[in-house]
Amino acid sequence: MGIIQTFLLVSMALTQMATGSATADGEMMVQGNNAFALDLYAELKNRDGNLFFSPHSISTALAMTYAGARGSTEKQMAEVLHFDLEQKRLHPAFRELLDQLETGEGERGYQLSVANALWGQRGYEFLETFLNLTKENYGAGLSELDFIGSTETARQTINTWVERETEDKIKELIKPGVLDRLTRLVLTNAIYFKGFWESQFEEEMTRPAAFTLVSGEKVQVPTMHRTADFNYTETDHLQGLEIPYLGDDLSMVVLLPKETDAITDFEKLLNRENLAKWLTGLTKQEVIVALPKFKMTSEFSLAEVLKSMGMTDAFDEDKADFSGMSGKKDLFITAVLHKAFVEVNEEGTEAAAATGVVVGLTAAPPRQPVFRADHPFLFLIRDLRSNSILFLGRVMDPRE
């Protein structure tokens, strides 16, 4: 069922494209996010089975983290994430996009909500400049938790927030064992979308139909049918179909290889230039459509993927520089977690995703020392000016 992998990525990329940023910085930032989306897909496509993720969620969570990056850590993150704007321009551009994406339920016939949050260790001092930047540009207020003394409670608190912000579609984003007493900050993004087709498929037209797997095996799946005017394109390699959502702000694009076993070769063609060409080629015409219903959940731990893409220093406790968060080089990324859900049926689409970036200390914090002289010991008296030992002794029994 590999074609689902392709069109779901393109659907999310289109969501970003469709916002039409009002400024040049906004347009450049969106282009960079889309480039990262395709780069990340190229890394994840070798996984077996279905694939679904929100590149917008991942980019946003990492952009908040990037706000605290400095030196080579900042440079590597910018290159991998395609952050082509300097920091003081990038984050306002994200704010512009987030403002455009956010809508009230029912205002435009769909629901699209985005939420960000910071979860910091109680008592750990983060720089006001970092907290103000993430609050002003991402709406990410800081909530203090006790990762040291109540790790499980902290984990449950963050997961509860994610569930609430995704209408209970994303559960257990952070698994047991991910957080520990060295965790100092978790940066989270949650995105939820529910949209109805501009013209819905009729349920009575849904019936079982054959779907050919990559192996050549044919299986029966519930398939929706409709004949209507759609934006459509066709090349030597593919057929492309655009299905608009109510409100005309968002749409889903399906890219279907012409050969039933060509998904792997087709994925190699998925790049910015080809995608732009395929989207430009969409023109309205009457099309007979058969589209399977489906529902899936995907989850990833992205640390190794991001390192393979060149973002290595951020995960290296000896090299990471997130001094823009705390003023010290004592933090590094320990995990980047992502989970996404989607359901497509006759009415429309419901999708949700969440991303968590876990930041921990590079070493265990010094414990308050306990000195209990309850057994024999040596002692000395010295002159600090000359560093001379003036007296030296041993206590075997204080009673004598």
Residue 364, C-beta contacts closer than 8 angstroms, at least 6 positions apart: 181, 182
pLDDT tens digits, residue range 76-110? 999 999 999 999 999 999 999 888 887 544 567 78
Q: What is the mean pLDDT of residues 9-24?
A: 48
Is the pLDDT at 15 greater than 50? The verdict is no
Mean pLDDT value across residues 276-282: 89
Structure tokens belonging to residue 200: 């819905």
Percent of the chain's residues with pLDDT above 70: 84
- 21: tokens are 């940023």
In a domain, 209, yes or no: no
Region 191-220: mean pLDDT is 89
- Confirm whether 48 is domain-assigned: yes
**Across 294-321, average pLDDT:** 94
The residue among 269 and 385 whose pLDDT is bigger is 269
Phi, psi of 326 (to 5 degrees): -125, -10
Tokens 């689409």: give the residue: 349
Determine how β-strand 251-257 pairs with β-strand 348-361.
unpaired
pLDDT at residue 51, rounded to an integer: 86
For residue 377, the model assigns a pLDDT of: 54
Read off the CATH number of the domain in which 114 is found: 3.30.497.10
Domain count, the chain: 1
pLDDT in tens, 364-393: 655 556 656 666 656 555 555 555 445 566
Which residue, 290, 276, 186, is CA-closest to 233?
276
What pLDDT was estimated at residue 393? 60
* pLDDT averaged over every residue in the chain: 85
Q: Are 237 and 266 in contact (CB under 8 A)?
A: yes
Residue 267 lies in a domain: no
- pLDDT per position as a tens digit, 40-79: 989 988 888 888 889 999 999 999 999 999 999 999 999 9
Q: What confidence score (pLDDT) does residue 219 get?
A: 86
Q: What is the pLDDT of residues 314-323, one digit of tens each?
A: 999 999 999 9
Q: Who has greater pLDDT, 44 or 153?
A: 153
Helix, strand, coil shares of the chain, percent, nearest 5, are 35, 30, 35
Dig out the tokens for 116 from the structure: 């960000």
Q: Is the pLDDT of residue 160 over 90?
A: yes
- Please report whether residue 383 resides in a domain: no
> Is residue 164 situated within a structural domain?
yes
103 in any annotated domain: yes
Global pTM reads 0.87
Of 354, 367, 308, 338, residue with least CA distance to 148: 367
- Is there a domain that residue 342 lies in? yes
The residue-averaged pLDDT of 226-251 equals: 86
Please check the confidence at residue 130 and state whether its pLDDT lies above 70: yes
pLDDT of residue 118: 98
| pLDDT above 50 for 17 | no
Go through 222-238 and write b for each residue having 16 or more CB atoms within 10 A of its CB, e for each that does not: ebbebeeebbbbeeebb
Percent of the chain topping pLDDT 90: 49
Q: Which residue has the higher pLDDT, 251 or 313?
A: 313
Which residues span the domain enclosing 95? 2-197+294-361
pLDDT at 77: 97
| pLDDT reading at 338 higher than 90 | yes
Q: Which residues contact 29 (CB under 8 A, 6 or more apart)?
A: 21, 83, 84, 85, 90, 93, 94, 97
Residue 149 confidence (pLDDT): 92
Structural contact between residues 61 and 189, judged by C-beta atoms closer than 8 angstroms: yes
Residue pair 215/230 in contact by the 8 Å Cβ criterion = no
Contact 298, 351 (CB under 8 A): no
Q: Is the pLDDT of residue 310 over 50?
A: yes
CA 365, distance to chain mean position in Å, is 29
What token pair was written down for 306? 């991001």
Q: Does 380 fall in a domain?
A: no
